[in-house]
Amino acid sequence: MSTVFSPTPASLGLNASSSDHRVSLRSRLDGVRGLSTLLMAAAVAALVVLAERLMGDWAEQHQFLAWMALWLLVLGGTAAVSAPASALARRARQAVQDSTAAIAEARAEVRLWQAARADHRVMADCVQARQRDLDDAAGLAATWGRFPEHLDDGRGNATHLRHC
């Protein structure tokens, strides 16, 4: 069957290759462009409303000049606001990602704590990891590093090499 009369056209998104297109489209539309466009439109709309209120009486007598001035304001405002709106959208996206990661980490910590309360082996691992972190903070790991832990790595059953 030809591609023109295919029972599953690519426009319906049913072909195998359409999933690749959706993934590439999703990676391009990460939310920053849409948010920056929305911010830019809001700023330009506020500029136009402010300009219309300032030149309301004058615009009734000079309609063509008012129309030209508003279009220049829209185009100039779009050019002037596009970079700050994009930067603000990027910062907002990063803040949302950071807060989402912090929430996920807090939830994982709660699940780990619940598992530790239920199983004494997990609790022992948590206590040992906390003690290791406290030792690192106290500077003990800075002087010795991980030397004591790795002292007998790779020695196998050679007990005569275990001098510690």
Assigned token pair, 33: 């462009």
Nearest alpha carbon to residue 37 among 71, 76, 88: 88
Provide the residue-wise pLDDT of the chain in tens; the chain has 164 residues: 555 555 555 555 555 555 566 666 566 656 788 888 899 999 999 999 998 888 888 888 888 888 898 899 999 999 999 999 999 999 999 999 999 999 999 999 899 889 988 998 988 888 888 888 887 776 655 555 555 555 555 555 555 555 54
d(CA 51, CA 147): 71
- Which pLDDT score is estimated for 98? 94
Are 15 and 8 in contact, with CB atoms under 8 Å apart?
Answer: yes
pLDDT of 159 reads 55
Where is 124: in which H helix or E strand? helix 120-138
**Whole-prediction pTM value?**
0.54
